[in-house]
């Protein structure tokens, strides 16, 4: 509900008669709120600045009242570090469109610190329902940001292979389950590629596990270069990798696998391997009616086995 401010005919205005409080009770009420609150007119001139705003920003009311938001007092930026005070200001949107808006922004404290705040902005209307400014309420979101960051890190650890940085098997299982269910419900196609580094045991046995780790990192890096952003590449286990290709039919997945096979074979291997090249065997399959996670994985594994049986460094399919 847009906020309406009545005139106070008993005492002078802070900056404009339109923005007066009916009595000091409302001013005291706002000053006792934990959140920061400030009012602006249609030119974004600051007319009121409560004690919560002083506490969160470090600026006293006397330092900001009468100045404009676009003076960049708080230097609001979004999560991408784009300035909002001159372009994309929530207050400007609310005043211009007559609509409330909520947004996560970052303000600059007087001491130079960046502080995350959640803002809610509403247009201010007079008794004739005309927009005469806006009110912004903002609260410290630092704890929320810290929790979100920590959760993101935990999730990243839980979903990524620590050596190669690609998805781990647990994450792949979840994505595959979602794709199978989506296929059953909508018929939207998807395919799988399973790839195994050729003769990887010889690498470990001859040059050691440290070199083997470097080979795994290099190999997964080559795969990432070819995969689309929408493809899900992960380490299935040991030297095996699984790629889930949403919305790709079998012939498209085969073409992708062939590009992967060529890219890997032509790429430089870790220098410890000397002239030896890293190659891979690729199995490809598509989702079919009645598939389960187990059945489609079984088919792609069969295709991979056939590629290794027929000489390795090749692509084979199972329909």
| Residue 257 counted as domain residue | yes
Q: Band of the pLDDT at 262, cuts 50, 70, 90?
A: very high
| pLDDT value for 26 | 77
Residues 45 and 171 in one domain: no
Give the tokens for residue 147: 């929790």
| Residue 40 counted as domain residue | yes
Give pLDDT tens digits for 274-305.
778 889 999 999 999 999 999 999 999 999 99
CB 103 within 8 A of CB 119: yes
Q: What residues are labeled active site?
A: 239
Cα separation, 314 vs 76, in Å, equals: 55
Q: List Cβ neighbours of 315 (8 Å cut-off, separation of 6 or more).
A: 254, 257, 258, 261, 282, 283, 284, 307
| pLDDT value for 8 | 43
Residues 122 and 181 in one domain: no
Residues 306 and 246 in one domain: yes
| Residue 125 counted as domain residue | yes
DSSP-derived letter for residue 259 is: H
| pLDDT value for 241 | 97
Residues 19 and 80 in one domain: yes
Nearest to 67 by CA among 82, 84, 49, 54: 49
pTM of the model: 0.59
Q: What is the per-residue DSSP string for 17-59? A: GGG--SSHHHHHHHHT-SSEEEEEETT-BEEEE-HHHHHHHS-
Q: CA angle, 6 as apex, 132 and 67 as ends, to 5°? A: 45
Residues 88 and 171 in one domain: no
DSSP-derived letter for residue 77 is: B
| Residue 151 counted as domain residue | no
The CATH number that applies at residue 13 is: 3.30.450.20
Count up the domains in the chain and report the number: 2
The residues facing 40 across adjacent strands are 46, 134
Residues 45 and 84 in one domain: yes
Residues 13 and 136 in one domain: yes
For the chain, percent of residues with pLDDT exceeding 70: 90
Q: Distance of alpha carbon 201 from its chain centroid, rounded?
A: 38
3-class SS string, 120-150: EEEEEECCCCCEEEEEEEEEECHHHHHHHHH
Burial 156-181 (b: 16+ CB within 10 A, else e): eeebbbeebebbbeebbbebbeebbe
Give pLDDT tens digits for 181-193.
999 988 999 999 9
Give pLDDT tens digits for 13-44.
344 434 445 557 777 888 888 899 999 999 99
Residues 80 and 218 in one domain: no
Cα separation, 234 vs 164, in Å, equals: 9
| Residue 155 counted as domain residue | no
Residues 39 and 133 in one domain: yes
Looking at 90, 117, 146, the residue that finishes a domain is 146
3-state secondary structure of 84: coil
Burial 183-207 (b: 16+ CB within 10 A, else e): beeeeebbbbbbbbbbbbeebeeeb
Q: Band of the pLDDT at 154, cuts 50, 70, 90?
A: low
| pLDDT value for 53 | 93
The CATH number that applies at residue 249 is: 3.30.70.270
- Structural domain boundaries enclosing 60: 3-146
Q: What is the per-residue DSSP string for 265-313? A: HHSPPPGGGTTPPP-EEEEEEE--TT--HHHHHHHHHHHHHHHHHTTSS
Cα separation, 65 vs 48, in Å, equals: 6
Cα separation, 96 vs 154, in Å, equals: 41
Residues 208 and 303 in one domain: yes
Residues 32 and 115 in one domain: yes
Looking at 123, 146, 169, the residue that finishes a domain is 146
Residues 16 and 88 in one domain: yes
Q: What is the per-residue DSSP string for 4-17? A: E----SSS--SS-G
Looking at 91, 112, 146, the residue that finishes a domain is 146
CA distances in angstroms from 247 to 70, 147, 261, 299, listed in the order given: 47, 35, 21, 18
| Residue 141 counted as domain residue | yes
């Amino acid at each position: 509900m847009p906020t309406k401010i009545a005139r106070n005919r008993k005492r002078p205005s802070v900056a404009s008669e339109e923005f007066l409080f009916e009595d000091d009770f409302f001013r005291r009420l706002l000053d006792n709120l934990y959140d920061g609150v400030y009012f602006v007119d249609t030119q974004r001139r600051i007319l009121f600045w409560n004690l919560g705003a002083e506490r969160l920003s470090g600026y006293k009311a006397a330092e900001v009242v009468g100045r404009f938001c676009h003076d960049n007092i708080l230097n609001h930026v979004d999560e991408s570090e784009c300035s909002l005070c001159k372009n994309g200001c929530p207050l400007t949107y609310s005043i211009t469109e007559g609509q409330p808006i909520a947004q996560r922004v970052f303000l600059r404290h007087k001491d130079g610190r960046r502080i995350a705040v959640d803002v809610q902005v509403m247009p201010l209307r007079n008794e004739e329902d005309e927009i005469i400014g806006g009110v912004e309420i903002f609260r410290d979101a630092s704890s929320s940001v810290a929790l979100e960051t920590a959760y993101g890190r935990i999730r990243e650890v839980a979903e990524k292979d620590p050596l190669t940085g690609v998805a781990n098997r647990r994450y792949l299982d979840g994505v595959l389950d979602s794709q199978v269910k989506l296929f059953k419900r909508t018929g939207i196609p998807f395919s799988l590629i399973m790839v195994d580094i050729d003769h990887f045991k010889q690498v470990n046995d001859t040059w050691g596990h440290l070199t083997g780790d470097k080979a795994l990192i290099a190999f997964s890096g080559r795969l990432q270069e070819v995969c689309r952003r929408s493809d899900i590449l992960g380490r299935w286990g040991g030297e095996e990798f699984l790629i889930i290709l949403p919305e790709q039919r079998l012939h498209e997945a085969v073409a992708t696998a062939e590009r992967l096979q060529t890219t890997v074979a032509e790429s430089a291997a870790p220098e410890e391997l000397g002239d030896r090249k890293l190659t891979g065997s690729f199995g490809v399959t598509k989702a079919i009616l009645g598939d389960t996670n187990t059945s489609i994985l079984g088919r792609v594994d069969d295709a991979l086995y056939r590629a290794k049986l027929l000489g390795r460094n090749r692509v084979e399919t199972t329909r």
